[in-house]
Amino acid sequence: MLGEPLRRAWARLHTWAGVVLGGVLFAVFWMGTLSVFDHEIDRWMMPPTRLAAAPPVSLDAAARAVAALAPGAAQWSLTLPSARTPTVQVRLPGSDALLHLDPSTFAELRPAPTLGGTGFIFPFHFMLHIDWLDLGLWIVGLCGMAMLVLTLSGVLIHKRILRDFFMFRPRKAATRSLLDLHTALGVLALPFHLVMPLSGLVIFFALFFPGTWQAAFDGDEAAFGREVFGSYQRPTAGAPGTLSSLDAMAAEAQRRWQGGRPFQVRLQLAGDAASYVEMRRAHTQDVSMNRDAIYFDAATGAVLERFESKPIGAVQRFIAGIHFVQFEQWLLRWLYFCAGLAGCVMIATGLWFWLESRRAEHARRGWVGVRLVEALATGSVSGIIAATLAFFIANRCLPEAASAWGLGRQRLELVAFYGVWLGMFCHAGWRGRAAWGEQCAAIAGLSCGAVALNWITTGDHPLRALSRGATSVAAMDGVLLLLGVVCWLAARRWRVRVAAPEPALELARGVVPSSEG
């Protein structure tokens, strides 16, 4: 099929792209996997918002509550409660903060300041929180491209892809079983590993492939924005105006969308005669993350404009929808989560295979390669997991008014995350091979600690959370406990392995061995 020299070249590409980018790829995969449940993580990290499923909300009543909250605000937007976020969320001008209102009383719920899953974990997934020059976005874009190359080259260099389709030999030498697991996860979840980076790149097409829209719109960014985002605007009239029933507008929108419900309402030019209302359609029922919107005249409730994506835009929204999983399909959500974890394990086993297959040779020749890569790999695999848990624990430990070094509570949670992550890298550099097991033990302790702290600080042990309808909290506790058990077992197993190291396989450098170990 593939000539031997060509196969070796592909293998070298696979090996070195994997070693160089594996750590960042793992971070992106790990945070992406957690982002599947970002709203559920928000519930866990913002205890006052852990409400049972919300009753239907009257938009008019909600609008009165918002007006009382911010009298005279020229514009505001509110997001209706959903199965995943049971609160009314309000965004007021001049503030980045999202306010949460109780959907039955419209009283403001005041969770202690935190970025939570949607504010920290999800943006980390696609931009690594590096704002400067959009560098974070570009690094993740590069990783997406690299993931495509790695997946395809992995298939090309796999000599016996069909014969080894179901092959996993856990009792053989470490190199053999790691490579088996790496290829089994890579091949069996291949569609997922291809679709995720590809759809991720398509989401940011305007940034990564600016030539596409610049050519089509002659570089006219405004025209591009109008056609893709449908941003309707009109100038102020300068005369006072009124706001008619939002519920009636929502009913009209629902009729025009043939049952599709609005999930977000935005009032522009409030109090002006030219004031208008934008209603955006929910993403819960389809794969596509539509940009459907209807604009109403605020005073009369008449429809001003209806926006729907054009065919190519609609395809882009469908592909984005596959990536964003905003639809309400719980089985699919859990399967995405598991597939994401499988991707994490695939990346980690790839890195481990590189280390195990070179350990003996590098030690004999006195090279630092394995030591260096091992420290980086440990820090970026088990290190980021421990750091994420430290983020959760800081959220449960820090008092509401905490501040230190001029940083507020929200920032201190990030200090915990980055501090522990850095600490894990240092630990990995110091302890070498033993660090894997020690960090696994740390993860086991931290995840059980997070569950215990959640119980102590909120009274919500998993069973209580379940019985009062806060399923997301119970599920997160359950996953944390499971992670703890798995990592504890892994730590024990690692200790045994380090105590009795196995002879490494004889491998040609940079070449994946044939399947018989």
Partner 1 sequence: MAEGALSLAAFAASYIGFALLALRQAPHHARVAASPRRAPPAAAMRQRNLWLGTAALGASLGVCLSSRGPSFGAILWVLLLAAGGLGVTFTLAFRPRWLRPLQRGSAERGSPHLPRGATER
Which residues contact partner 1 by CB under 8 A? 163, 165-170, 184-185, 188-189, 191-192, 286-288, 318, 322, 327, 329, 331-332, 335-336, 338-339, 342
* CB 334 to partner 1: min, Å: 9
Name the 3-class secondary structure at 51: coil
Q: How far is the CB of 275 from partner 1 (least distance, A)?
A: 37
- Comparing CB distances to partner 1, the nearer of 139 and 148 is 148
Our CB check for partner 1 shows the closer of 192 and 232 to be 192
Q: Which of 33, 90, 83 is nearest to 66 (CA)?
A: 90
Total residue count of the chain as it appears in this document: 517
DSSP secondary structure letters along 438-490: HHHHHHHHHHHHHHHHHHHHH---HHHHHHTT-HHHHHHHHHHHHHHHHHHHH
Residue 184 or 279 having the CB closest to partner 1: 184
Considering only CA atoms, give the Rg of the chain.
26
CA–CA gap between residue 454 and residue 506 (Å, rounded): 49
Would you give the DSSP letter of residue 117? I
CB of 184 to partner 1, least distance (A): 5
Give the tokens for residue 266. Answer: 């935005």
**263 three-class SS:** strand
Neighbour tally for 233: CB within 10 Å: 9
C-beta closer to partner 1: residue 329 or 403: 329
Which residue, 349, 342, 371, 382, is CA-closest to 512?
Answer: 349
**Nearest distance from residue 153's CB to partner 1, in Å?**
20
CB of 313 to partner 1, least distance (A): 17
At 136, which amino acid appears? G
- Find the shortest distance in angstroms from Cβ 200 to partner 1: 16
What is the per-residue DSSP string for 293-317?
Answer: EEEEETTT--EEEEE---HHHHHHH
Query: Which positions ≥6 away from 304 have C-beta within 8 Å?
Result: 232, 234, 276, 295, 296, 297
**155 versus 167: smaller Cβ distance to partner 1:** 167
Amino acid at 419: G
User: Which uninterrupted H or E stretch holds 276?
Assistant: strand 276-281
Nearer to partner 1 by Cβ, of 159 and 411: the residue is 159
CB closer to partner 1, 233 vs 258:
258
Least distance (Å) between residue 471 CB and partner 1: 16
Side by side, which strands form the sheet with 303-307?
108-109, 98-101, 88-91, 76-79, 262-268, 276-281, 293-297, 303-307
- Nearest Cα residue to 203 out of 278, 140, 268: 140
Closer residue to partner 1 in complex, CB, 191/408: 191
Q: At its nearest, how many Å lie between partner 1 and the CB of residue 421?
A: 30
Hey, what amino acid is at 169?
A: R
Minimum distance from CB of 475 to partner 1 (Å)? Answer: 16
* CB-nearer residue toward partner 1: 333 or 461: 333
248 or 332: CB nearest partner 1: 332
Q: How many CB atoms lie within 10 A of CB 286?
A: 15
Would you say 76 or 352 has its CB closer to partner 1? 352
For residue 112 the two structure tokens come to 């202690």
Cβ 181 to partner 1, closest distance in Å? 9
Closer Cβ to partner 1, 275 or 288, answer by number = 288
Nearest to 18 by CA among 436, 353, 507, 357: 353
Task: Measure the CA–CA gap between 373 and 367, rounded to whole angstroms.
Answer: 11
User: Residue 160 Cβ, how far from partner 1 at the closest point, in Å?
Assistant: 11
Is the Cβ of residue 184 or residue 446 nearer to partner 1 in the bound state? 184
Name the minimum Å distance from CB 341 to partner 1.
11
Of 348, 1, 386, 285, the C-alpha closest to 161 is 1
What's the min distance (Å) between Cβ of 517 and partner 1?
A: 13
Burial profile 478-508: b = 16 or more Cβ within 10 angstroms, e = fewer: ebbbebbeebbebbeebeeeeeeeeebbebe
The whole-angstrom separation of Cα 170 and Cα 178 is 8
